[in-house]
Structure 1
Amino acid sequence: MADLYLWLKAGHVISVIAWMAGIFYLPRLFVYHAEQSALVPDMIPVLEVMERRLLRAIMLPAMIAAWTFGLSLIALGVVDWNEGWPWVKAASVLAMTAFHIWCASERKRLVAGTAKLDGRRYRMMNEVPTVLMVVIVISVIARPF
């Protein structure tokens, strides 16, 4: 059982790293997309391909794997739900998943030309996963709750 726990935990960490890499980068691509559409229109198809591939080939599989490994760890019974930290982490992971879904929706709006945010607002949105990541890591490592 101890070996299974370590393998599941390793898979969870690897998946989360891949997911976070994508979730940090995709809004940055949105910044370029929003700011370059009028200045360098030839760049837009390239950005659209990059956004689609990042979302579908990296972020989505990594998110599914992170959830699968995380729920497997919970199924092993290694989480004490009487403590506060798992609830804070769970809420933050749900918020991160909602942000992922927002990114997927926003990519579709950018492609359709109906996005309403400018580069500055995409930069601000890029801070959301950073704050959530800090809360998640502190919850799991320091367990202040």
Structure 2
Amino acid sequence: MLWVKTFHILFVVSWFAGLFYLPRIYVNLAQADDPAVRATLLGMAGRLYRFMTPLGILALILGVILWLGYGIGQGQGWLHAKLLGVLGLAVFHLACRRHLRAFTMGANRHSHQYFRWFNEIPVLLLLLILILVVVKPF
């Protein structure tokens, strides 16, 4: 179980690195006027999204193994709330894909200010999930 937990944490941390950085690239993309800069940022964003997607999938799979295979948190309220937070992360990840497609097609309608606020969502979800896992308030 400790190996599964270790790799779960590794993939969660790695996935979050992408969830934190990709919206920052979007901030710069929303401000980019130079086509060369825009092309560079789009390339960075695309590669990062392709890299972080399998990390998120592995984090989710190992989390399910810990939950269903080892019974961690079964029947406890904090786990249900955590799963809701993880669902929020998955939705955020998919929203990142939607934004990437919009940038790629030249159809982005959001300002850099929007993406600055959008960037705060994974921070808040991480805080919520950490509190639930460590403190287990219910």
In the alignment of these two chains, the number of paired residues is: 138
Q: SS at 2:136's partner residue? A: coil
In structure 2, the residue matched to 1:100 is 93
TM (normalized to structure 1)?
0.92
Distance 2:13 2:71 in 1: 21
Note the alpha carbon deviations across 1:26-57, whole angstroms, 9 max, x for none: 00000000001x2x222011011100100002
After the TM superposition, which parts of structure 1 deviate over 3 Å for at least 4 consecutive aligned residues? none
Please list, as runs of the form range in 1=range in 2, the aligned pairs for 1:59-138 lying within 5 A after superposition: 59-138=52-131
Distance 1:136 1:24 in 2: 15
Distance 1:124 1:115 in 2: 16
Change (3 A) 1:13 1:80: closer
Alignment partner of 1:42 out of 32, 36, 58: 36
Residues 18 and 49 of structure 2 are in contact (CA less than 8 Å); yes or no, is this contact kept in structure 1?
yes
Q: Any gaps of 5 or more consecutive residues in structure 1? A: none
TM (normalized to structure 2)?
0.96
Distance 1:88 1:80 in 2: 11
Distance 1:10 1:29 in 2: 29
Pairwise CA distance, 1:78: 2.6
In structure 1, the residue matched to 2:50 is 56
Distance 2:73 2:88 in 1: 21
Q: SS at 1:108's partner residue? A: helix
Q: SS at 1:51's partner residue? A: helix
Alignment partner of 2:132 out of 109, 119, 139: 139
Q: Do structure 1's residue 24 and structure 2's residue 17 form an aligned pair? A: no
Q: CA RMSD in A?
A: 1.0
Residues 22 and 45 of structure 2 are in contact (CA less than 8 Å); yes or no, is this contact kept in structure 1?
yes
Q: Do structure 1's residue 13 and structure 2's residue 9 form an aligned pair? A: yes
The code of the aligned residue for 2:108 comes to A
Q: SS at 2:71's partner residue? A: coil
